[in-house]
Amino acid sequence: MLDIKFVRENPELVKENIRKKFQDFKLPMVDEVLALDAKNRAAITEASDLRASRNALSKQIGMLMGQAKKDPSKLAEAEKIKAQVKANAERLEELEKLEEDCAAGRRTLMLNIPNIIDPSVPIGPDDSANVEVQRFGEPAVPDFDIPYHTEIMESFNGVDMDAAGRVSGNGFYYLMGDIARLHSAVLAYARDFMIGKGFIYCIPPFMIHGNVVEGVMSQTDMDAMMYKIEGEDLYLIGTSEHSMIGKFIDQIIPEESLPQTLTSYSPCFRKEKGAHGIEERGVYRIHQFEKQEMIVVCRPEDSMAWYEKMWRFSVELFRSMDIPVRQLECCSGDLADLKVKSCDIEAWSPRQKKYFEVCSCSNLGDAQARRLKMRVKGEDGKMYLPHTLNNTVVAPPRMLIAYLENHLQADGSVTIAEVLQPYMGGTERLVPKN
């Protein structure tokens, strides 16, 4: 969410940013915000004047009532002023309601106006305009056919989609045996990898209040992603970033404690509203998965440096498991409204002969901090808003697709990367059961 003062002083810049994000339907919102803001400020000014007048008139009434003991004509004058005070009180009540309504309407609109994107973001309407920046590792296609990922898993008796469908419906799965163990090994390795980078390990709440949801994500994303607990002000998290950033809601953070660098494990729950497509079969796009996440809360001047570090951590992690990846810069139309800048790390799929997303790194500027009322107290005693960033460390089982395809051998076995072997009891190779 933008600062209202910024919108007030830069309406055309805000509109141009909306155009860059190809959201022209939101252009009228800027003028609506300014109109509500002007009405709100006028109501505040008038209410302030009435309160000042009320105090002066109250003193005048007291003085006249004292004088009325000697001069009865003063009583009529006092009653007249009382009537004015009553009328002012009624008007003040109207103004306070107007202030409240204008502020609420303004906030609702402001929640839908996108954050100002960084000048380096490529301009484009959707993910088709995303830009490949770098490749890491040599993408290879073996001289044997690679089965679909669920077929690979089934060869190890490692997945049961049918049973999950009977128990929970589409978009769920049972992982079993060696595949389940590999899943856990990847998460454990990712946890220790981030701890080695100086991040504090955390297991956060898996349910959060509605005001935290509103603080950490856009309304569109919320409707498409979040599961609400019926009858309670609680939502299942779609990613641990939600509760990790929410940890700082309404907090004043000492500047000397920055940057806050946290890595968290959690299950994640997503509606995946509108999900479709052939590559969304199996465990590619699902309603429940587990994830290791990283978040940073830092000074504004440090956020771009952290953004660079964070996506490179993802590259380093995947390359340590011998998986080729590339960095893809997200264009303006593919950025969620709160994001200033974002990139995806995509893993190579030998079966599809293309890359697919496994990590998403984002700099959200001060948008989440403003919504959540997070503040930093500087050395000079002044308050300012920190910047927040997040990035996926790993999100199996999708990440398992990349792992299995890149480590599959001609005989159907799967090699275990050296960094994962300690988490697999020293196992160097998985041998298929079927």
Reply yes or no on whether the pLDDT at 275 is more than 60: no
Residues ≥6 apart with Cβ < 8 Å to 28:
none
Domain with CATH 1.10.287 in the chain: 4-110
Reply yes or no on whether the pLDDT at 91 is more than 90: no
Give 95-141 pLDDT, tens digit per residue: 999 999 999 999 999 999 999 999 999 999 999 999 999 999 999 99
- Can you tell me the distance from the alpha carbon of 46 to that of 42, in angstroms, rounded to the nearest whole number? 6
- Can you tell me the distance from the alpha carbon of 18 to that of 161, in angstroms, rounded to the nearest whole number? 42
- The confidence score (pLDDT) of residue 73 equals 64
Confidence bin at 90 (pLDDT 50/70/90): confident
Reply yes or no on whether the pLDDT at 266 is more than 90: yes
- Can you tell me the distance from the alpha carbon of 325 to that of 81, in angstroms, rounded to the nearest whole number? 78
Q: Are 17 and 123 in contact (CB under 8 A)?
A: no
- The confidence score (pLDDT) of residue 284 equals 84
Give 180-238 pLDDT, tens digit per residue: 999 999 999 999 999 999 999 999 999 999 999 999 987 777 777 899 999 999 999 99
- For 114-149, give the DSSP string: PPPPPTTSPP-SSGGG-EEEEEES-----SSPPPPH
- Can you tell me the distance from the alpha carbon of 338 to that of 363, in angstroms, rounded to the nearest whole number? 9
Q: Which of 73-82, 190-199, 285-294, 366-375 is predicted least confidently? A: 73-82
Residues ≥6 apart with Cβ < 8 Å to 386:
253, 258, 297, 298, 299, 300, 366, 369, 374, 375, 376
Reply yes or no on whether the pLDDT at 277 is more than 60: no
- The confidence score (pLDDT) of residue 156 equals 97
The domain defined by 127-430 folds into BirA Bifunctional Protein; domain 2 (3.30.930)
CATH, range 4-110: 1.10.287
Reply yes or no on whether the pLDDT at 278 is more than 50: no
Reply yes or no on whether the pLDDT at 276 is more than 50: no
Q: Residue 259: name the closest of 393, 355, 363, 112 by CA.
A: 363
Give 294-347 pLDDT, tens digit per residue: 999 999 999 999 999 999 999 999 999 999 999 999 999 999 999 999 999 999
> Mean pLDDT of all residues in the chain?
92
Domain with CATH 3.30.930.10 in the chain: 127-430
What is the H or E stretch that residue 326 is in? strand 325-329
Give 380-425 pLDDT, tens digit per residue: 999 999 999 999 999 988 899 999 999 999 999 999 999 999 999 9
Give 41-79 pLDDT, tens digit per residue: 999 998 888 887 776 776 666 666 666 655 666 666 666
Reply yes or no on whether the pLDDT at 81 is more than 90: no
